[in-house]
Amino acid sequence: MASALISKYDLIMKASLSLFTERGFDATTIPMIAKRAEVGTGTIYRYFDSKETLVNVLFQESIQRFSEKVKRNYSEMPVREGFRHIFCCLVQFTKESDYALFFLETKKDAHYLNETSKKMIENLTQMLDDFFNKGKTEGVIRSLPSNVLIAIVLGAFLKLYQLMQQGDIEMNADLISELEQCCWDAIKLHSLTSEE
Amino acid sequence: MASALISKYDLIMKASLSLFTERGFDATTIPMIAKRAEVGTGTIYRYFDSKETLVNVLFQESIQRFSEKVKRNYSEMPVREGFRHIFCCLVQFTKESDYALFFLETKKDAHYLNETSKKMIENLTQMLDDFFNKGKTEGVIRSLPSNVLIAIVLGAFLKLYQLMQQGDIEMNADLISELEQCCWDAIKLHSLTSEE
Amino acid sequence: MASALISKYDLIMKASLSLFTERGFDATTIPMIAKRAEVGTGTIYRYFDSKETLVNVLFQESIQRFSEKVKRNYSEMPVREGFRHIFCCLVQFTKESDYALFFLETKKDAHYLNETSKKMIENLTQMLDDFFNKGKTEGVIRSLPSNVLIAIVLGAFLKLYQLMQQGDIEMNADLISELEQCCWDAIKLHSLTSEE
Amino acid sequence: MASALISKYDLIMKASLSLFTERGFDATTIPMIAKRAEVGTGTIYRYFDSKETLVNVLFQESIQRFSEKVKRNYSEMPVREGFRHIFCCLVQFTKESDYALFFLETKKDAHYLNETSKKMIENLTQMLDDFFNKGKTEGVIRSLPSNVLIAIVLGAFLKLYQLMQQGDIEMNADLISELEQCCWDAIKLHSLTSEE
DNA sequence: GATGAATGAGCTTTCATTCAT
DNA sequence: AATGAATGAAAGCTCATTCAT
C-alpha cells in the first residue's frame, strides 16, 4: 500500500537518462536501467515499446523542455540579454536534472535517433538560428554561420557541464557568470579597436 | 604482384577509427570493422588482442601524435602565439586524418579506456594546464581553472569539427583564422575598458 | 498448468553431465547442451556464469555426493568390509545417475578444473588414503603407496563402468559381487602360501 | 646445412602425442602442436590432411606398435607367463615413449576416431580376448567376459601410468613386478581354499 | 499492472585450414 | 618443401524482448 511517490514511468526515465549520460546509449543495457530504477525489466516494456523508443522519448522530452524554457519571451530581448537568457536556460536545466542535457552530447546523426527526434533538433537549431541572425543583423554578433556559433557555445557548455558532473569543478553564481561572459566573448563582434 | 599498398594493420586502424568516430565504441561491431577494412574478422585478432585493445591503441596513437605535434617548441612562444599554435595543431590533425580527433569526444571515464590511456589524457591535460597557467600569470588569460579553459576551447572545437565532418561547413583559411580568434576571445582576459 | 516437472537447472545439469561424460569437456558445446536439455542457450547462462563454472559445479556436486556416501560410518568397519562399502558406493552412484562418476575420468590437472575442485579431489583422496593406511597397518592390504592402490581400484572400476555405459555388459548382483572380489584381490595382501 | 636429425614428420607426431595425452584431442590446437614441434602450422598440413587424420595416424601407430610387441611369440607361453608378457609390453611401451599409451585413455567411441582406428581396437581386443579365453579354459583365469578382464587390467594400468606421468610415483623393477602381481591377482582364479 | 525467467539473434572471439610467398 | 598471414565457420556469451505467472 501507499508508496508510488514517484511513478514507475518517471523512475525509468530518470534511471535511463542518468545511465545514457554516463555510459552512452549502446553501453547501457535494459537490465541496468531496471536495476537503477528498481523495477522489473518487463515493466520497462509496459511504458516503452523498445529501448530505441525509450531513448527517443527521453531525447524529445529533454529537448522539448529546454526549447520551451528558451522560447518564453526571449524574442523581444536585446541580443546580449537574449544570449544570457539562453545560457541561463542551459544552467537551470543542469540544476533541475543532473542529466537533462543528454541531447547536447548526442550527435544529430546518432544511429538510434528517429525522425521526430531529428526534426526537433532542427527546430531548436532553427530557433537559435533566428536569434543569432538577429544578432548578426544588428552587428553585435560575428557574422559566422549560425550552426558555427551554436557549435561554439554548446560545445563549450557541454564540456563544462561534463567537468561539473565528474565533480572536477563546482558551479557557483560567480563562475556561471564568468563562463557566460566567456561564451559571449567567443561569438560577439568585437569593436574594431586594436585587438590582439 | 603489386597489391598490399596499405598494410592490413593500417586498414584496420583506419576502418575502426572512422567507425568509432561515427558510431561510438559500443555501437561499432567487429564485423563492421572487418567489412570496412576489407579483411576477415579473424584478421583483426592477429593484430589486436581484443576490441578493447584496439580502441586503446587507437586512442593512444591519436593522443600521442597530437601531443607531439603540440609539444614541438611551443613553450618559448608568447602566449597568444602559443594558443594559435595549439589551435593549428587541432586543425592540422583534422586535415591529416579525418578521424584523428577521436580522443576529443571520448570522456576520460569511458568504460573501455585502460589505465595507460587515462594516463595519457592526464599528461596532455597537464601540458595544456602549464600553458594556460603561464597565460594566467602573465595576465593575458582569464584566471579560471585550467580544466575550465581547456573545456571551453576543446569543447567548441569538437563541435566545429563534427559540423565539418557532417559536411555542414567547409573549412578554409579565413574561417579557421576567425574560429581561432573566437576561441581566443573566449578565454583571453579582456582589458577593463567598457565592454558588454 | 502442470509442466516443469524438472527444473531447468536440473535439466541443464543432467544434459551437460551426460555430454561431458560421452564426449569430454572440450568437445561438448553449449548449443549441444542447450539442445539436449531442451532450453535456450541463454538459459544456461542464467544458472551458470560460464561453461567452466558449469563443469566445476557438476564436478564438485558429483564428488561431494560420492564423498558423503562413502564417509557414512565406514571408519569403524573392518577393512574388508570397508572396502566392500566403498565399492558399493561406486556401484550405487552409477545406479543413481548414469553419469555421476564423471569425476573418475577427469584427470586432476585438467585445464578446466578450478582450485575448489582440485581441493575436493585431494580431500577424497585423503579419505581413501586413510582407509588404505589402516588396511596396511593391519597387514591385510599390500604395502603399496595409497595413491597406487586407489589408482588400481578406481582405474579398473572406471573402465568397467564405461563398458556398462556402452551397453557391452549388464551389471547384476552376481557380477558386481565378483568384480568387487577382483578389485579386492588386486590389493589384498595374499598369505605367503604357495601362490602363482 | 646439416640439421634434420629428426624428421619434421616425427617432430609433429611426438609433439601432438604429448599434447593429446596432456590435454586431450579437443583442447589441443594446431598452433600448439606447431609450436611444440617447432614447425610452421602449414607444415603440419603437408604431412597430415587434417587434425583428425593426425590423431588417427597417431592412434593407429600406437596401437599397431603395441599389438606387434604383444603378438611376438606369446601364444605358446603358459597363461601366467603370457600375462606377464602383456604387462611388460605395457611397461616397455611407457618407457619407449612417455605418451605412447594414448590409446588406453581413448574411449572406443571417441568422436574423432575413424573406422580404421575402431577396427584396430577391435583387433587388439580380439587378440587379448583369445588370450583370456585360453586362460579361462585352462581354469587359471576367472570366468568373466574377456572385455571385463581387459577393462580391469588396462583400467588399472592406465591410472598407474598417469600417476607416473604426473610424477607422483617412480617406476622401478620391484614396483613394476608387484603391480603386475596385483593385476594378475585381480583376474586369476583363486583356489577354493578359504579366502576372505 | 508488475515481474523476472526464458529465449535466440547477434555479438566477440577462436582455430582448423588455405595459399601466396 | 616450409612458412605463417589470412580467413570464416562456429564457438562462448550477452541482452533486447516476450510472456506465463
Eight-class DSSP state of B27: T
CA distance A62 to A101: 7
Please give the C-alpha separations between residue B96 and each of A194, B21, B102, B164, C130, in angstroms, as whole numbers: 34, 15, 13, 14, 75
Residue D194 or residue C9, greater confidence:
C9
- Closest residue in A to B196 (Cα–Cα): A80
Q: Which residues of D touch C154 (CB under 8 A)?
A: 159
* pLDDT at B192 exceeding the cut of 90: no
In angstroms, what CA-CA distances link D137 with B92, C145, C169?
A: 95, 35, 21
Sign for the CA dihedral angle at C108, C112, C114, C116 comes to: negative
| Nucleotide nearest D7 (Cα, C1') | F1
Check residue C2 and give its pLDDT.
38
3-state secondary structure of C141: strand
- Measured in whole angstroms, the distance separating CA B154 from the mean position of its chain's CA atoms is 8
Alpha helices, DSSP H only, in chain C?
A: 8-23, 30-37, 41-47, 51-71, 79-96, 115-137, 146-165, 173-187
Please give the model's pTM, rounded to 2 decimal places. Answer: 0.90
Predicted local distance difference test score (pLDDT) of residue D194: 46
DSSP-derived 3-state class of residue C124:
helix
Task: Specify whether the CB–CB gap between C149 and D156 falls below 8 A.
Answer: no
Cα of A71 to nearest chain B Cα, Å: 23
Which nucleotide comes closest to D43 if you measure CA to C1'?
Answer: F2
Q: Please report residues of B whose CB lies closer than 8 A to that of A135.
A: none
A118 CA, E9 C1': separation in Å? 28
CB of B42 within 8 A of CB of B36?
no
pLDDT band at A100 (very low <50, low <70, confident <90, very high): confident
Q: Report the pLDDT value the prediction gives residue B2, as an integer from 0 to 100.
A: 38
Task: Mark out the alpha helices in A38-78 (DSSP H runs).
Answer: 41-47, 51-71
Q: Cα–Cα distance between A158 and B156 in angstroms, integer?
A: 9
User: Long-range pairs for B85-94 at CB < 8 Å and ≥24 separation?
Assistant: B86/B128, B86/B131, B86/B153, B87/B153, B87/B157, B87/B179, B87/B180, B87/B183, B87/B184, B88/B180, B90/B66, B90/B157, B90/B161, B91/B171, B91/B176, B93/B65, B93/B66, B93/B69, B94/B161, B94/B164, B94/B171
Alpha-carbon distances, residue A173 vs A88, A168, A176, B112, B148 (angstroms): 11, 17, 5, 35, 15
D169 and C147 in contact by Cβ < 8 A? yes
C1'-nearest nucleotide to the CA of C42: E7
Widest Cα–Cα separation across chain B: 71
Q: Return the number of other C-beta atoms located less than 10 Å from residue B130's C-beta.
A: 12
Average pLDDT over residues C22-29: 96
- Residue A20 and residue A56 in contact, taking contact as beta carbons nearer than 8 Å: no
Count the Cβ atoms, other than its own, within 10 Å of residue C39: 18
What's the rounded Cα separation, in Å, for the pair C55 and C117?
Answer: 10
**d(Cα A145, Cα A136) in Å, to the nearest integer?**
10
Q: Looking at the complex, does the CB of residue D159 fall below 8 Å from at least one CB of chain C?
A: yes
Distance CA B78, CA A96 (A): 42
Chain B contact for A40 (CB, 8 A cutoff): no
* % pLDDT > 90, chain A: 76
CA–CA separation, A59 vs D48, rounded Å? 60
Count Cβ–Cβ pairs < 8 Å, chain A vs chain B.
111
Among the partner-chain residues D151, D179, D187, the one whose CB lies closest to the CB of C159 is: D151
Per-residue pLDDT tens digits for C96-107: 887 778 888 899
Q: Is C185 on the interface with D (CB under 8 A)?
A: yes
- Backbone phi and psi for residue B156, each to the nearest 5 degrees, phi listed first: -60, -45
Give partners of B (≥3 CB pairs < 8 A): A
Amino acid found at C168 = D
Coil, helix or strand at residue C192 = coil
Instruction: Using the structure, give the distance in angstroms from the CA atom of B10 to the C1' atom of E14, rounded to a whole number.
Output: 23
Residue A194 has pLDDT above 80, yes or no: no
Q: Kindly state whether D182 is in contact with chain C, defined as any CB-CB distance less than 8 angstroms.
A: yes
Q: Grid coordinates standing for C66?
A: 560420492
Task: Give SS3 for B188.
Answer: strand
The answer for residues whose C-beta is within 8 angstroms of residue C40's C-beta and 6 or more apart is: C34
Instruction: Note the strand E nucleotides within 7 A of protein beta carbons.
Output: 1-21
Torsion, CA B33, CA B37, CA B42, CA B43, rounded to 10: -140
Q: Between the CA of C31 and the C1' of E9, what is the distance in angstroms?
A: 14
Give the integer Cα–Cα distance in Å for C122 and C133.
Answer: 16
Q: For all residues of chain A together, what is the average pLDDT?
A: 90
Residue B113, class by beta-carbon neighbours within 10 Å (0-12 exposed, 13-18 middle, 19+ buried)? Answer: buried
Q: Which residue is nearest to nucleotide F12 (CA to C1')?
A: C30
Give B3-31 pLDDT, tens digit per residue. Answer: 457 899 999 999 999 999 999 999 999 99
What is the three-class DSSP state of A141? strand
Which of A22, A107, A136, A178 should be substituted to probe chain B, the one whose Cβ sees the most B Cβ atoms within 10 Å?
Answer: A107
From the C1' of E11, which residue's alpha carbon is nearest? B29
- Which residue ranges of chain D lie beneath pLDDT 50? 1-3, 194-196
Which residue of chain A comes nearest to B79, CA vs CA? A196
Residue B1: what pLDDT?
Answer: 36
